[in-house]
Chains A and B, each alone.
Chain A
Amino acid sequence: MANDFTYMAGVVAAGFAVTFFFRAVPFLLFPAKGGNIPPWIEKLGAMVSPVIILGLIFYSYSSLEWRTPWPYIAGIATAAVELLTRNSLAGIIAGTAIYMSLLAAGCSSGPSSITYDAANPLMRITVNGIVFGGKDYVTPREAVKRLEQHRIPHDATIHVGVDPDFTDNRALWVFHHNYLNKAGYTRVVFVHERRAEAVKMKKRPGANNNRPPRR
């Protein structure tokens, strides 16, 4: 808690220092001088600013579902509404609303929930990364984040399936110790090959098939 406090105080202080310094630059450079902006600075500003903002757009997309088409659709809608109405707030609200409703309608790459089933691996390690459910590749950090998000209890046994073509044992060790153990998931089982097969039960003639199964 106290750690959080100093960290956030540092973040706010850094934000203030950086932002205020940039805003004060002209007043620090020419404290007494009046007059207009030098033309070369104006030209530089007109060139540099959009490039930086373009970089920021890419950066902000990294925290979105950028593998799906949905953030791009919402982005085009944002720009279109902004250009049509000449109101930036309308563009932001329209774009965000479209993106949120697309996600709410199920247009997302990630599974909405992790089904916690002790018999089956929660995640699977492949050469490409860690897989949840179907096609959704995540990083080890993201994997731990999802376990926490879905409130998987710390004492639950995490079954991690390992693909037969995945041979990097060091990466397994790193994932086990540096990510899962550090996050508090101490009971980790690596399943290297699944041999269990589903057995089809046949109805016995004459038996009471309505009886609940024995525990």
Chain B
Amino acid sequence: MSRGYLPPSGRERRAVRRRAFVDSLPVLMGYTAMGFVAGSLLAAKAGVSFAPLWAFLSGGLCVSGTLSFAIVQPVAERVGIWAIALMLAGVNFRYVFYGWSMLGAWKDVRGWRKFLLVLMLTDENYALETACKYKDPGRRTFYCLCLSAMNLSYWVAGLTSGAAFVSILRRALDPSVIAKYTSGLEFAMAALFIVIFTDQAKGFFAHGK
């Protein structure tokens, strides 16, 4: 018998929110730092006008670290949109495997709540959501919602501030100076993939045993 999705009330809600905030603190560090790097990379290397706007939109709508890093090089070369979409399909194919374990817990959630939950099935957020200690659907969904909203705000803030920072520097400094001091920053993308790969390989071997 399913009680369906009922948001918890009063004191319960506050406790869940606090729990979610404490759990999101490591992500706060990660998302703001990675977002800042990805945003500055976009503003420094992609060569587009209004970089902070694009950082804000792509941060809020795509919410994917791999995407934010992976689009910089193709955008700098003005690769066609279909080709970029195809590449991103390869990059983000792994997200297909994330929603399955949440099917049961979220099945009665509707509207913008469901949109936010699906949008925020990112690597870090998913890891926290699967590790959630609340078993009843009400508190669990509310916990996931709080976590999603918090992590989304961290990511958007990091990405936009990074892009804005470099855009302002571009006004003040010579482009060659910026090119000199951001040279090698593109390794962050490779490092992100290496870290994801070692994580998955570790999980694969642990699972195999």
A interface residue numbers (CB < 8 A to B):
1, 4-5, 7-8, 10-12, 14-20, 22-27, 30-38, 41-42, 44-46, 48-50, 52-57, 59-61, 63-64, 71, 74-75, 78-79, 82-83, 88-89, 91-93, 95-96, 99-104, 149-151
CA distance A15 to B69 in the complex (A): 12
Contact of A100 with B187 at beta-carbon distance under 8 Å, contacts A20-B119, A56-B193 already known: yes
Rounded to whole Å, the gap between the CB of B67 and the closest CB of chain A is 5
Q: Is the Cβ of A19 less than 8 Å from the Cβ of B93?
A: no
| CB<8 Å pairs between A and B, sample of 18 | A1-B49, A5-B49, A12-B54, A14-B84, A18-B89, A22-B96, A23-B99, A27-B99, A35-B103, A36-B100, A57-B193, A60-B190, A71-B190, A79-B194, A95-B187, A96-B37, A104-B183, A104-B184
Rounded to whole Å, the gap between the CB of B5 and the closest CB of chain A is 12
Interface of A is mostly: helix
- A18 touches which of B54, B88, B183, B195 (Cβ 8 Å): B88
Q: Is the Cβ of A64 less than 8 Å from the Cβ of B190?
A: yes
Contact of A95 with B194 at beta-carbon distance under 8 Å, contacts A14-B81, A36-B100 already known: yes
List of A residues within 8 angstroms of B95 by Cβ: 19, 22-23
List of A residues within 8 angstroms of B199 by Cβ: 82, 88
CA distance A91 to B190 in the complex (A): 11
Within 8 A of A (CB), among B16-67: 29-30, 33-34, 37, 48-50, 54, 57-58, 61-64, 66-67
Contact of A149 with B179 at beta-carbon distance under 8 Å, contacts A22-B92, A88-B199 already known: yes
Rounded to whole Å, the gap between the CB of B142 and the closest CB of chain A is 18
- B67 touches which of A15, A25, A50, A54 (Cβ 8 Å): A15
- B201 touches which of A16, A50, A74 (Cβ 8 Å): A50
**Is B192 located at the chain interface by the 8 A CB criterion?**
yes
Within 8 A of A (CB), among B88-137: 88-107, 114, 118-119, 121
List of B residues within 8 angstroms of A48 by Cβ: 93-94
Q: Is the Cβ of A23 less than 8 Å from the Cβ of B98?
A: yes
Which of B6-14, B70-78, B164-172 touches A? B70-78
Residue of A nearest to B83 (CB): A14
CA distance A18 to B1 in the complex (A): 35
Q: Is the Cβ of A30 less than 8 Å from the Cβ of B103?
A: yes
List of A residues within 8 angstroms of B57 by Cβ: 12
Number of B residues contacting the other chain (C-beta, 8 Å)?
Answer: 76
In the complex, the number of residue pairs spanning A and B with C-beta atoms less than 8 Å apart equals 220
**Is B207 located at the chain interface by the 8 A CB criterion?**
yes
CA distance A54 to B82 in the complex (A): 23
Q: Is the Cβ of B81 less than 8 Å from the Cβ of A26?
A: no
Listed from nearest, the 4 A-B pairs whose CB atoms lie closest are A34-B104, A37-B100, A45-B97, A26-B99
Interface centre among B54, B85, B90, B192 (most CB of A within 10 A): B192
**Is B152 located at the chain interface by the 8 A CB criterion?**
no
A49-B94, A56-B193, A82-B199 given; 16 more Cβ-contact pairs under 8 Å: A8-B48, A20-B119, A22-B95, A24-B118, A34-B104, A34-B107, A37-B97, A42-B97, A45-B94, A46-B204, A52-B91, A75-B191, A78-B190, A78-B195, A91-B191, A99-B187
- A16 touches which of B61, B194, B200 (Cβ 8 Å): B61
- B197 touches which of A41, A54, A74, A92 (Cβ 8 Å): A54
Residue of A nearest to B109 (CB): A27
Q: Is the Cβ of B81 less than 8 Å from the Cβ of A16?
A: no
Residue of A nearest to B94 (CB): A49
Rounded to whole Å, the gap between the CB of B199 and the closest CB of chain A is 7
Q: Is the Cβ of A100 less than 8 Å from the Cβ of B183?
A: yes
Contact of A151 with B176 at beta-carbon distance under 8 Å, contacts A71-B187, A92-B191 already known: yes
Q: Is the Cβ of A14 less than 8 Å from the Cβ of B88?
A: yes
Q: Is the Cβ of B88 less than 8 Å from the Cβ of A88?
A: no
